Amino acid sequence: MAEYRIELIKQETVAEATMAFLFARPSGFEFRAGQCADLTLIHPTETDAEGDARTFSIASPPFEDGLWSSSESCAGPPCPRSSP
């Protein structure tokens, strides 16, 4: 399985306790509709008992440049966070 470093471009609240995340799509990253990806935070400021990785469904169509995903109840780490 290939590994990529991706950048969080944007995050927004889309409903109560639901966040949407837009990630930069790395060069050469291919996927089919309905697939998911395991995302791991590198050097998080805090973590929890589940560790630094989470599985996210890819909500973007394969022809778009960005990768959208969302998460419910993203109140604690290691949810993706943009830099202040």
Domain that holds residue 5: 1-27+35-42+50-73
Angle at 51 between CA 39 and CA 27, to 5 degrees: 15
Confidence of residue 71 (pLDDT cuts 50, 70, 90): confident
The pLDDT of residue 9: 95
Q: Is residue 10 part of a domain?
A: yes
How many domains in the chain? 1
Higher pLDDT, 79 or 37: 37
Nearest-CA neighbor of 69 among 9, 14, 21? 21
Confidence of residue 20 (pLDDT cuts 50, 70, 90): very high
Q: Is residue 61 part of a domain?
A: yes
The pLDDT of residue 83: 42
Measuring CA to CA, how many Å separate 45 from each of 27, 61, 66?
A: 28, 32, 25
Distance CA 27, CA 44 (A): 24
